[in-house]
């Protein structure tokens, strides 16, 4: 037998052989039964009806006798008709028997019956003639007893002989059928025994072959069950760790979800504040532009002040120049007055009055000189103040210019702030939208993680079930091994392949 054939193929071949033997057995049995049935049918359908026909012959003869008696008693023609009808019936039955009898001896018996029946009908016709001729009843009865009874007895004897012959024929047919049945039984028993022997041999070889293969397969199943058990243990442990990790991830995602919601709310607040800031920046920009105009006015006023101060300085310089002249005049006057006093002192008594006048002139010149000094000091103060004021004003102008530039920068900064705040507002809105999307995504992830956690729990349960199934499979393989391997070989066969 080919070693590469499958288990089912080998079993199928074995069952096919058994079925083929069974079919052969069945065919032989059917053939034997059909032979028996044919023999029985031959007995029942051919031989038995002959006996029935013989009985009908007897009945027709009896009915003829009855109709004869009724006619003899009543003279009624109806009975005469019945009599003729029975004759016709007798003739037809006899003709049917002649068609069914194939043996020469049987045909001879039928000829004897026909002859006896001919004599009997002749006797009956004689009696009928006597009756129709109004022969006295005693004569008729006498004739009936003397002529018809013997023919009737002969006819009965001939029929009885034929019945005996047919009984013997039926017996022979029955014996032949019984012999055929016995032969068929013997044949069936022989075929069944042969089938049993062949099936036993096939079963032995199949059992041996399949036990070897199933043993090997069971060993592999045991090994696989052990590996499956170990894998299921690892899978169960991994599923537990995964379930724990999934719980931690779910907790973290819940926290992340809460944080994302807080970020979304914060982003919304930031967007709101950014919008308010943008409005404030635009308002501040307007205020800065107004302030810039005011600073422009201040700068123009400061320039006018500077110009006035410079004019004042120039006027002071002019006053100083005039004052130099006055001072020069006062100094000259002082010198002249002193010299006049000196000259007056040299003039004696006459110059004394002039000396007084000259001294007054000197005093006046001194006062003028003092006043000139004071005026010069004042002018210097004024010039210094003017210079200081001009410098301060120029500093102020520069500060105003710087302030104006700074205001321009501030306005630009406000514009930039407004743009940046708009960008910030847009970014905050995007952050808010993104965070909402993130929240939705995190919720979906949370749902997915929950599903994964559920799947992990189911995996854990499935792993436990797998472990249980592996254990059951190992036990089943051991049981299966015990079923196919003897106890002394169990230890050897249960080793993993």
Partner 1 sequence: MAPHESSDWGGGYLVCRVCEHLWAIPIEHVQETLRPLAVEPLASMPPFVRGISVIRGSPVPVVEAATLLASENGEPSTRLVVLKTGARRVALAVQSVLGVRTLAPSSLQELPALLQKANAAAVAAIGTLDEQLLLVLRAARFIPDDVWESCSAMDAAP
Taking CB under 8 A as the rule, does residue 333 contact partner 1?
A: no
Taking alpha carbons only, the member of 103, 5, 109, 100 closest to residue 53 is 100
Q: Can you tell me which of 167, 289, 359, 443 binds partner 1, judged by CB under 8 A?
A: 359
Q: Which of residues 366-385 bind partner 1 (CB under 8 A)?
A: 366
Nearer to partner 1, 230 or 345 (CB): 345
Q: Can you tell me which of 338, 399, 441, 476 binds partner 1, judged by CB under 8 A?
A: 338
Count of residues touching partner 1 (by CB under 8 A): 14
Decide if 203 contacts 14 (C-beta within 8 A). yes
Stretch that binds partner 1, among 245-253, 279-287, 337-345, 446-454 (CB under 8 A): 337-345
Decide if 90 contacts 64 (C-beta within 8 A). yes
Q: How far is the CB of 325 from partner 1 (least distance, A)?
A: 16
Decide if 38 contacts 173 (C-beta within 8 A). no
Q: How far is the CB of 299 from partner 1 (least distance, A)?
A: 47
Quick one: how many helices (H) and strands (E) in the chain? 8, 0
Q: Which of residues 272-331 bind partner 1 (CB under 8 A)?
A: 331
Q: How far is the CB of 346 from partner 1 (least distance, A)?
A: 7
Nearer to partner 1, 246 or 340 (CB): 340
Taking CB under 8 A as the rule, does residue 345 contact partner 1?
A: yes
Nearer to partner 1, 277 or 334 (CB): 334
Taking CB under 8 A as the rule, does residue 348 contact partner 1?
A: no
Two structure tokens written together for 402: 């710087």
Nearer to partner 1, 377 or 440 (CB): 377
Half-sphere exposure of 300 (CA within 13 A, CB side): 5
Taking CB under 8 A as the rule, does residue 346 contact partner 1?
A: yes
Q: How far is the CB of 339 from partner 1 (least distance, A)?
A: 5
Nearer to partner 1, 161 or 331 (CB): 331
Q: How far is the CB of 384 from partner 1 (least distance, A)?
A: 23
Taking CB under 8 A as the rule, does residue 355 contact partner 1?
A: yes
Nearer to partner 1, 45 or 343 (CB): 343
Stretch that binds partner 1, among 147-155, 171-179, 355-363, 387-395 (CB under 8 A): 355-363
Decide if 326 contacts 368 (C-beta within 8 A). yes
Taking CB under 8 A as the rule, does residue 364 contact partner 1?
A: no
Decide if 128 contacts 68 (C-beta within 8 A). yes
Stretch that binds partner 1, among 83-91, 188-196, 242-250, 362-370 (CB under 8 A): 362-370
Non-local CB neighbours of 79 within 8 Å, separated by 6+ positions: 67, 68, 70, 71
**CA distances (Å), 156 to each of 11, 59, 105, 372, in order?**
70, 11, 18, 212
Nearer to partner 1, 123 or 340 (CB): 340
* Residue keyed to tokens 């049987």: 106
Decide if 330 contacts 369 (C-beta within 8 A). yes
Please give the full DSSP string across 145-213, using - where no structure is assigned.
Answer: IIIIHHHHHHHHHHHHHHHHHHHHHHHHHHHHHHHHHHHHHHHHHHHHHHHHHHHHHHHHHHHHHHHHH
Stretch that binds partner 1, among 15-23, 184-192, 263-271, 354-362 (CB under 8 A): 354-362
* Residue keyed to tokens 């099936």: 199
Taking CB under 8 A as the rule, does residue 161 contact partner 1?
A: no
Decide if 3 contacts 209 (C-beta within 8 A). no
Taking CB under 8 A as the rule, does residue 342 contact partner 1?
A: yes
Q: How far is the CB of 368 from partner 1 (least distance, A)?
A: 14
Round to whole Å and give the CA distance between 171 and 185: 21
- Three-class secondary structure of residue 354 per DSSP: helix
Taking CB under 8 A as the rule, does residue 339 contact partner 1?
A: yes
Distance of CA 406 to the CA centre of its chain: 71
Non-local CB neighbours of 428 within 8 Å, separated by 6+ positions: 267, 268, 270, 271, 274
What residues make contact with partner 1 under the rule CB under 8 A? 331, 334-335, 338-339, 341-342, 345-346, 355, 359, 362-363, 366
């Amino acid at each position: 037998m080919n070693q590469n054939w499958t288990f089912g193929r080998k079993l199928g071949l074995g069952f096919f052989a058994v079925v083929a033997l069974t079919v052969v057995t069945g065919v032989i049995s059917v053939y034997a039964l059909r032979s028996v049935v044919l023999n029985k049918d031959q007995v029942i359908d051919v031989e038995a009806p002959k006996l029935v026909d013989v009985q009908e012959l007897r009945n027709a003869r009896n009915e003829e006798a009855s109709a004869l008696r009724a006619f003899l008693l009543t003279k009624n023609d109806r009975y005469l008709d019945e009599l003729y009808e029975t004759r016709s019936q007798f003739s037809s039955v006899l003709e049917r028997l002649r068609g069914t009898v194939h043996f020469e001896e049987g045909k001879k018996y039928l000829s004897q019956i026909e002859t006896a029946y001919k004599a009997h009908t002749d006797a009956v016709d004689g009696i009928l003639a006597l009756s129709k001729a109004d022969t006295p009843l005693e004569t008729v009865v006498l004739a009936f007893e003397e002529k018809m009874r013997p023919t009737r007895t002969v006819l009965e004897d001939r029929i009885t002989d034929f019945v005996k012959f047919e009984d013997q024929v039926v017996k022979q047919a029955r014996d032949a059928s019984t012999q055929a049945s016995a032969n068929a039984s013997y044949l069936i028993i022989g075929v069944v025994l042969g089938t049993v022997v062949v099936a036993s041999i096939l079963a032995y070889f199949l059992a041996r072959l399949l036990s070897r293969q199933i043993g090997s397969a069971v060993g592999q199943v045991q090994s696989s069950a052990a590996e499956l058990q170990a894998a299921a243990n690892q899978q169960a442990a991994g599923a537990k760790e995964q379930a724990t990790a999934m719980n931690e991830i779910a907790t973290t995602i819940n926290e992340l979800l809460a944080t994302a919601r807080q970020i979304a709310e914060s982003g919304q607040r930031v967007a709101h504040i950014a919008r308010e800031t943008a409005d404030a920046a635009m308002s501040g920009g307007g205020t800065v532009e107004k302030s810039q105009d005011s600073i422009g006015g201040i700068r123009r006023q400061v320039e006018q002040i500077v110009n006035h101060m410079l004019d004042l300085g120039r006027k002071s310089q002019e006053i100083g120049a005039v004052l130099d002249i006055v001072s020069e005049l006062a100094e000259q006057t002082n010198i002249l007055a002193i010299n006049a006093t000196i000259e007056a002192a040299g003039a004696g008594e006459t110059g004394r009055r002039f000396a007084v006048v000259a001294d007054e002139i000197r005093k006046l010149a001194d006062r003028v000189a003092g006043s000139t000094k004071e005026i010069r000091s004042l002018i210097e103060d004024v010039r210094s103040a003017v210079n200081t004021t001009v410098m301060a004003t120029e500093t102020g102008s520069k500060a105003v210019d710087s302030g104006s530039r700074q205001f321009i920068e501030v306005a630009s900064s406000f514009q930039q702030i407004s743009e940046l705040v708009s960008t910030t507002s847009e970014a905050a809105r995007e952050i808010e939208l993104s965070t909402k999307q993130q929240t939705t995504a995190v919720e979906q992830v949370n749902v997915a993680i929950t599903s994964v956690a559920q799947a992990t729990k189911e995996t854990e349960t499935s792993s436990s079930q797998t472990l249980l199934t592996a254990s059951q499979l190992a036990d089943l393989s051991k049981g299966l091994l015990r079923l196919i391997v003897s106890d002394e070989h169990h230890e050897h066969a249960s080793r993993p392949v």
